[in-house]
Structure 1
């Protein structure tokens, strides 16, 4: 990462403009490698703006020869508008993260075809026939390749940017390269770790059924201590380069392929945040599934697959991460000269297991935080939002919040991923007072 420069504010301010269809067509026509990929005349290209996220413009451009995806950052939060300004530099950090991830986990992120820092624009391969994973999960679709792919992505991107794999100097260079992405970190710090637990103007939930639960969370000091400890770790534990927003809306899938997208929140932070995000989104898919049923039990096989995948995400990540630690440990942490001989090797293996136990506890807590923010905070997800009956939606959300509180406050009591999935099964049968 040491060769990567920081984004130039002057370049962004002087070159930036929001590209509309005609502007984008002209721009792409002037990028030879992109124009060649699209094929045909620029006038024949189809351009559609398809962004349904909270921050950016996303265009699908297709020509006679192929297609591309174009992502341009806006100078504000799209979900809210110009009243919430946001630096364009996030596009630069997304580009850095994508190229870094492509080296470490080839084939698991989209190929970057072009980057323009001044326009805060990235052109990538068009992923077809992939869909956003969250949409597939709402529909009850299973993805048999997902656990294998996402655990490879997690294990390799986290291990190879950690002190276990790189020297202290390389790690510090990496931290410096992403240190300026603090505006995106601030969004996480507020929307995930703070706002759902206090009165905040942009909070929302399924009223009136969750009013009492939201109030209870605002007054729950045990919960406030637990979330504050997680926030402190997010603030002061640069363990590895994390994606920073690894939910099922940032993953595109087919039955046989997985691609991780949208790493604009990337920075050096706690590994458990990324792993927990994946697990949280699977748990929400499981607990929302009841609300999407048209007849009792029709999604039972899907729900079983989701919980099996929750377990596999942790067990396979842990296995792959430990394998890398045993075979690729070239960093300054745990120098091998301190663990020579049979006794030293055995003691180091014991330490590895203790390390993974601590990482699992972090993962459980961060997963809980991600669940709470999607129900009581600003940005919700379609797992719950597409449940048409609001009371039925609230039941699913109340179960999720009950699970999340236990996972956050009692994280140490979840000694295995099986304990997490058991708790999810148990809460699936719980009915809140309003039900």
Structure 2
């Protein structure tokens, strides 16, 4: 049954499918007649089922074979459609880009492949894949039971996660190092690069919505209008900004540095106080390491700038904003520390980037690492800034801001984030440490707050 070809799952067929698939039925125990099934996907793009029995639990995700255009959802306003998109955390906006963007169900293959590879390298922070059916585009994986929630929702709620920076730095250090030429031979690396080259449509989507559309007139762009009309226009007319983002786009398209998640924002992370799990690597491919690092750091900074919009009289969020900045700083510092540690451990291995017969002196090895890490740091800052900009004046926004109901207040928060992102993108090479970046966040935030108070 699992190899008959594509068929959309429903509650009834899902039970039959599980019974016919030992990798799934064994995870649920012997009693398969008492299955509790809850569908939590959108029903058009990704069918996601939580399946629980007295003997265990699994999550079944099926990528839809065909994607209807979002224009058919006529009862929604333009803004409501994009809010729905962000909530689904999937790919529905592709439907608005026309027939030149066909999204095939084969993208499930790359998600499963990335989950398995990253899970092998960092099993503590990637849910285990139990089963993958290519014909059915079905992934069966570990169910992340409550109280796991999406990190973005936790940040909006003002919840601190004391192990977040420790866990995320571990995940990024291990998955990036062990899929790079610092560890792999060129033969191994090129073989893996070739495998993931098939995920071309999602790469092209990123190229458009992150590196192109925000800097030009596009029917898909949106922002908090009319408050940010001038700000959005300024982005489109900023030649210095365009030159910087062109460099990043070239790097994204050309540099097969490591197997990256490709969409590592705070809605791709599920958390509790002592658990951090990275999900949804549909966009995975071999690309620049800084893209993953920057995506995570940039989304933390977005969360920081959104906090004033969620503050209330009983909680001004000042302490929480400091926790976010502290977490941002710790995430990079711990990443750098762990990345260099595994590099040191494997410096005499078969990685072809820095051959031990050439880099055979401790001081030379140290200099090579320092140069590598500062370049990676600047890459991460640039990509993080680009990710921030697209979330404010591009096609898909973030709930951190969108959940702020007062449009004027929301635009104030977004403007601060946008101004910092522009500064970071242009001046990223001037920052030598994450501490300097965090200080710049505080300084710009405080300056703009004072300007707003004076205007009022």
| TM-score normalized by the length of structure 2 | 0.88
Q: SS of 2:354's equivalent?
A: coil
1:82-161 equivalent positions in 2, closer than 5 A = 83=98, 85-129=102-146, 130-161=148-179
Match of 2:59 among 69, 78, 92: 69
Instruction: Check conservation: 1:214, 1:376, Cα contact below 8 A.
Output: yes
Conserved? CA contact 1:365–1:407, under 8 Å: yes
Alpha-carbon displacement from aligned partner over 1:124-148 (angstroms, at most 9, x marks no partner): 1100121111111100001111111
Q: Which of 179, 191, 212 lines up with 2:230 in the alignment?
A: 212
SS at match of 2:183: coil
**1:78 pairs with 2:92:** yes
The Cα offsets for residues 387-432 of structure 1, whole Å up to 9 and x where unpaired, read as 1111111111110000000010111122211121112112222147
- 1:257–1:273 Cα change, 3 Å: same
Separation in 2, partners of 1:56, 1:149: 27
Shift of 1:81: 4.1
Residues 283 and 296 of structure 1: is their aligned pair in 2 closer, same or farther, counting only changes over 3 Å? farther
Q: Does residue 319 in structure 1 map to residue 309 in structure 2? A: no
Matched, 1:199 2:217: yes
Aligned to 2:21, which of 31, 47, 50? 31
Residue number in structure 1 paired with 2:357:
337
1:52 Cα deviation after fit: 6.3
- Paired with 1:80 and 1:173, the residues of 2 have a C-alpha distance of 29
SS at match of 1:336: coil
| CA-to-aligned-CA distance 1:86-132 (integer Å, 9 cap, x gap) | 02221111111111111111221001111100111101110012111
Map 1:7-22 to 2 at 5 A. Answer: 15-22=5-12
Given that residues 56 and 78 in structure 1 are in contact (C-alpha distance below 8 angstroms), is that contact kept between their aligned partners in structure 2?
no
Determine the structure 1 residue equivalent to 2:262.
244
CA contact (8 A) 1:55 1:79 kept: no
1:45 aligned onto 2:35: yes
Q: Distance in 2 between matches of 1:339 and 1:124?
A: 42
- How far the C-alpha of 1:30 sits from its partner, in A, is 1.8
The 1:85–1:18 alpha-carbon spacing in structure 2 relative to 1, beyond 3 Å, is: farther
**Kept after mapping to 1: 8 A contact 2:266/2:296:** yes
- Using the alignment, how far apart are the partners of 2:445 and 2:313 within structure 1? 16
Alignment of 1:284-363 (within 5 A): 284-295=302-313, 298-329=316-347, 330=349, 331-340=351-360, 344-363=361-380
Task: State the TM-score, normalized to the length of structure 1.
Answer: 0.92
Distance 1:52 1:152, change over 3 A: farther
Matches of residues 347-426 of structure 1 in structure 2 within 5 Å?
A: 347-426=364-443
Segments of 5+ residues of structure 1 without an aligned counterpart are: 1-10
RMSD over aligned Cα, in angstroms?
2.1
Aligned partners of 2:43 and 2:396: how far apart in 1? 10
Could you say which residue in structure 2 is the equivalent of 1:4? Answer: none
**Matched residues in 2 for 1:19 and 1:81: separation?**
22
Q: Give the structure 2 partner of residue 5 of structure 1.
A: none
Inter-partner Cα distance in structure 2 for 1:126 and 1:102: 15
Gaps of 5+ in 2: 68-90
1:428 matched residue in structure 2: 445
Matching residue of 1:7:
none
The C-alpha deviation readout for 1:334-359, integer Å capped at 9, x for no partner, is 1111133xxx2202211210111111
Comparing 237-246 and 54-63, the one that deviates more: 54-63
Q: Is the Cα contact below 8 Å between 1:251 and 1:260 reproduced in 2?
A: yes
CA drift at 1:293: 0.8
